[in-house]
Amino acid sequence: MTDRANPNILITGTPGTGKTSTAAQVAALSGLKHICVGDWVKEHSLHSGWDEEHQCYLLDEDKVCDALEDLASEGGCIVDHHGCDFFPERWFDLVVVLQTDNTLLYDRLAARGYGPSKVQENVQCEIMMVVLEEARDSYREEVVQALRSDTAEQLEANVSQLVAWIKQFQAQHA
């Protein structure tokens, strides 16, 4: 399906599920490049203003995709973002959706300093499995993988599993 020597992986999920922690460790162990879309948007001004209601930047999806196109075409990117429906489907060899228990997620988001309505909104998003459904609507079934991210042990296991998956991909595409 792809002629990339290195895979592109999308790590998605509700805010607080552990995307950045997972992506950073997988990148460090595999040598792939970690692209945190939120940071990219800020660094490269790929937003169309501040969303007061949701307390976040409104990202300009077309600009983000244009800016990432060259890197994604090369392969070897771990893209970290809470949404997944606006990237080109062809970019990703694997789409990981992290999931976290509602109570644990509530505590993580409160600890992050999110206000009550932002915590509620995100916990509700997790309960409704919004991101998993978005991933299943946007990518082929065999590419989408849901992983639990409740505990430090699960984080570690997920990282090991992803690093092993990358090595296998590289061996098959060498």
Q: Is 22 exposed, middle or buried (0-12, 13-18, 19+ CB in 10 A)?
A: buried
Residue count at the site for ligand ADP (CB under 6 A)?
Answer: 15
Per CB under 6 A, which of residues 141..170 are in contact with ligand ADP? 149-152, 154-155
Contact 165, 93 (CB under 8 A): no
CA dist., res. 23 & res. 29, Å (int): 10
What six digits make up the tokens of 131?
Answer: 């991101």
Residue 152 binding partner per list ligand ADP, Mn ion, none, with a CB distance cut-off of 5 to 8 Å that depends on partner kind: ligand ADP
Residue 13 binding partner per list ligand ADP, Mn ion, none, with a CB distance cut-off of 5 to 8 Å that depends on partner kind: ligand ADP
Backbone angles phi, psi at 84, to 5 degrees: -145, 5
Encoded one letter per residue, x for contact with Mn ion by CB under 5 A and - for no contact, window 11-50 reads: --------xx------------------------------
The one among 7, 13, 75, 76 contacting ligand ADP by CB under 6 A: 13
- Minimum distance of Mn ion from residue 19's CB (angstroms): 5
CA dist., res. 122 & res. 56, Å (int): 13
Residues that bind ligand ADP (CB under 6 A): 13, 15-21, 108, 149-152, 154-155
